[in-house]
C-alpha cells in the first residue's frame, strides 16, 4: 500500500468522523435495524408458539369424558371461566352415550363465526380432531363386527412435514442476515457521497486532482474510508444480534442459536470485501452526480440491485452452486451457512471474497478512468 493512499484514507476518515450527523445516521441503522427485528420476532414467536394450546368452550363435556380426553391429547382444551371468549364452541348433546351405544351418528355442534379468517386454522383443527375421533370409534365398531378397519381406507394421503426446528430457525435468521448485509451498504453511504459528490459541491475536487497523486490511490483511499464506515456498521449490527436475542424467547420456537464471539469475528471478516465493493459502487455513482442531493438519489437506485438479489434469494430459497462464489450472494451464503448448519466451504469463501474484491477493483478502475475525463471533472 502506498503512503499516499494511507494519507488519503486517514484524512477522509478524520473528516468523516468529525461529521457527527452522518456518523449518527450510519450507526443508527446498525443500531435500530436489529431492534426492529426484535419487535418483528416477538410477533413471530407469539404466533408460532400459540399452536400448542387451543382453548374452546365445551358444553356438555360431562356426557363424553372419553372425547374430551381425546381432544386434550390433541391439544384442544376446555376453556375455563376466566378464559376469554375463544370464538369456538363445542356442544355435546345429552344423548351422546345413548346414541353411541346404539351405533347411531352423534352430531356435535361446532359453533363459530366461519367468516372469521383468523380463526380458520383453529376451526379446522377442531374439526380434524373430531374426524379422527370418529375414525377411532368407527374402527372399533368394525373390528367388533369382524371386519378389518382397513376396508375403510382405499387411498390414504400421508403427510410428511419437512419443516424442522432448524429450518424454521434458518427462516428467521435469514432475515437477520439480510439486515447484516444491508447494514454494510447503508453505513458507508454518507461518507462515500461526501468524499465524491461532496468534494465537487464544495469545489475542492479540481485542486485535489491537480496534486501529484495517482488517481487510483485517490479513488482507493476514498473507497477505503467509506468502507471503513461500512464495516463499522456491519460489525455493530453483528454485535447487536445476540443482544437482541436476549429479549426474544427463541427457545420457545426450539431455535438454538450459538452466536459466539468467534462467529462474529468470522462473519465480520467475510463482510470486509463486501464493504469495499459497496463503497466502490457508491463512489462510482456519486462521482457522476453534481451535488450531494443528486448523489443520494442515484445511490438509492443503485442500492436496489444488491438488495433485490438478496431478498429474492431469501424468499424464494433459490439455490445454485454458483451462488457460493458470486459477489453479494457468496457473503449471503456464508452468513446463512453459519446459522443453518450447512457451512460454506473455505474454498468457496475465499473465491467469493477474491471475486468480490476483483469486482470492486474493476469498479474503482472505472471511477479513476472517469476522473481522467475533463467532462466528468469540470462538467463541461
Partner 1 sequence: MIEVTELRKTYKEVTALNGLTFNANDGEITGLLGPNGAGKTTCLRSLYGLIKPDSGRVQVDGLSPVTEPIEVRRSIGIFPDKFGLHERLTAREHIRYIAELHGFRGEAMLEQVDRVIAELKMTDIADRRTQGFSQGQRMKVALAQAIVHQPKNLILDEPSRGLDVMSTRILRELMFGLREQGRCILFSSHVMQEVAALCDRVVIMVQGQVVANDSPAALCAMTGKASFEDAFVQLIGTDEGIMA
Task: By CB under 8 A, name the binding residues for partner 1.
Answer: 3-4, 7-8, 11, 14-15, 18-19, 199, 201-207, 209-214, 374, 377-378, 380
Closest CB 379 distance from partner 1, rounded Å: 12
Minimum distance from CB of 10 to partner 1 (Å)?
9
Instruction: Classify residue 57 as exposed, middle or buried by CB count within 10 Å of its CB (0-12, 13-18, 19+).
Output: middle
Query: Is there a contact between 166 and 260 (Cβ–Cβ < 8 Å)?
Result: no
Angstrom distance (rounded) from CA 349 to CA 180: 17
Q: How far is the CB of 196 from partner 1 (least distance, A)?
A: 13
Residue 156 phi, psi dihedral angles, 5° rounding: -120, 130
For 196, the grid coordinates are 465524491
Q: Which is nearer to partner 1, 267 or 295 (CB)?
A: 295
Do residues 259 and 53 make contact, with C-beta atoms less than 8 angstroms apart? no
CA dist 315 and 310 (Å) reads 9
In the complex, least distance from residue 18 CB atom to partner 1, rounded to whole angstroms: 4
Give whichever of 128 and 214 is closer to partner 1, judged by the CB atom: 214
Question: Nearest-5° angle of CA 9, CA 335, CA 161?
Answer: 165
Q: Is 227 helix (H, G, I), strand (E, B) or coil?
A: helix
Look up cell 467475510; give the residue. 270
Q: What is the distance between the alpha carbons of residues 75 and 125, in angstroms, rounded to a whole number?
A: 10
Question: For residues 56 and 92, is the Cβ–Cβ distance under 8 A?
Answer: no
| Minimum distance from residue 9 beta carbon to partner 1 (Å) | 11
With respect to partner 1, which residue has the nearer C-beta, 162 or 211?
211
CB nearer partner 1, residue 8 or residue 71: 8
Nearest distance from C-beta of residue 206 to partner 1, angstroms? 5
Considering beta carbons, is residue 157 or 380 the nearer one to partner 1?
Answer: 380
Taking the least distance from each CB to partner 1, the nearer of 213 and 239 is 213
CB of 204 to partner 1, least distance (A): 4
Q: How far is Cα 176 from Cα 165, in angstroms, rounded to an integer? A: 17
Which position has the grid cell 463499522? 232
Cβ atoms 164, 257 nearer than 8 A = no
Separation of first and last alpha carbons in the chain: 34
**Shortest spacing between CB 377 and partner 1, in angstroms:** 6
**Among 240, 335, 261, which Cα is nearest to 31's?**
240
Rounded-to-integer distance, Cα 330 and Cα 336, Å: 10
Residue 15 or 59 with smaller CB distance to partner 1: 15
- Between residues 207 and 301, which has the closer beta carbon with respect to partner 1? 207
At closest approach, how far in Å is the CB of 207 from partner 1? 5
Is the separation of the CB atoms in 257 and 224 below 8 Å? Answer: no
Question: Closer to partner 1 at the Cβ: 304 or 378?
Answer: 378
Amino acid at each position: 500500500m502506498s503512503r499516499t493512499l494511507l494519507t488519503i484514507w486517514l484524512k477522509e476518515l478524520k473528516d468523516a468522523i468529525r461529521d457527527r450527523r452522518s456518523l449518527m445516521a450510519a450507526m443508527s441503522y446498525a443500531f435500530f435495524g436489529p431492534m426492529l427485528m426484535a419487535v418483528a420476532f416477538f410477533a413471530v414467536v407469539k404466533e408460532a408458539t400459540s399452536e400448542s394450546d387451543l382453548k374452546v368452550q365445551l358444553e356438555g363435556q360431562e356426557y363424553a369424558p372419553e372425547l374430551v380426553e381425546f381432544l386434550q391429547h390433541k391439544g384442544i382444551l376446555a376453556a375455563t371461566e376466566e378464559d376469554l371468549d375463544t370464538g369456538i364452541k363445542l356442544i355435546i348433546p345429552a344423548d351422546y352415550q345413548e346414541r353411541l351405544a346404539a351405533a347411531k351418528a352423534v352430531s356435535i355442534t361446532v359453533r363459530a363465526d366461519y367468516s372469521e379468517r383468523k380463526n380458520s386454522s383453529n376451526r379446522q383443527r377442531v374439526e380434524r380432531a373430531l374426524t379422527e375421533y370418529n375414525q377411532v370409534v368407527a374402527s372399533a365398531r368394525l373390528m367388533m363386527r369382524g371386519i378389518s378397519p382397513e376396508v375403510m381406507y382405499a387411498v390414504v394421503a400421508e403427510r410428511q412435514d419437512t419443516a424442522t426446528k432448524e429450518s424454521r430457525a434458518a427462516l428467521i435468521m435469514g432475515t437477520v442476515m439480510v439486515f447484516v448485509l444491508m447494514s454494510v451498504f447503508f453505513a458507508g453511504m454518507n461518507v462515500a457521497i461526501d468524499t465524491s459528490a461532496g468534494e465537487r459541491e464544495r469545489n475542492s475536487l479540481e485542486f485535489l486532482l491537480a496534486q501529484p497523486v495517482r488517481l487510483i490511490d485517490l479513488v482507493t483511499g476514498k473507497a477505503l474510508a467509506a468502507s471503513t464506515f461500512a464495516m463499522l456498521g456491519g460489525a455493530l449490527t453483528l454485535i447487536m444480534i445476540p443482544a437482541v436475542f436476549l429479549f426474544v424467547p427463541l427457545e420457545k420456537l426450539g431455535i438454538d442459536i450459538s452466536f459466539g464471539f468467534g462467529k462474529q469475528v468470522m462473519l465480520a471478516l467475510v463482510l470486509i470485501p463486501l464493504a469495499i465493493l459497496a463503497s466502490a459502487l457508491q463512489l462510482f455513482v456519486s462521482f457522476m452526480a453534481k451535488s450531494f442531493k443528486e448523489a443520494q438519489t442515484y445511490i438509492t437506485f443503485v442500492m436496489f440491485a444488491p438488495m433485490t438479489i438478496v431478498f429474492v434469494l431469501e424468499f424464494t430459497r433459490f439455490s445454485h452452486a454458483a451462488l457460493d462464489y458470486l459477489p453479494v450472494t457468496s457473503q449471503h451464503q456464508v452468513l446463512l451457512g453459519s446459522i443453518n448448519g450447512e457451512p460454506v466451504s473455505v474454498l468457496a469463501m475465499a473465491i467469493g471474497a477474491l471475486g468480490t474484491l476483483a469486482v470492486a477493483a474493476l469498479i474503482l478502475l472505472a471511477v479513476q478512468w472517469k476522473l481522467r475525463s475533463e467532462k466528468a471533472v469540470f462538467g463541461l
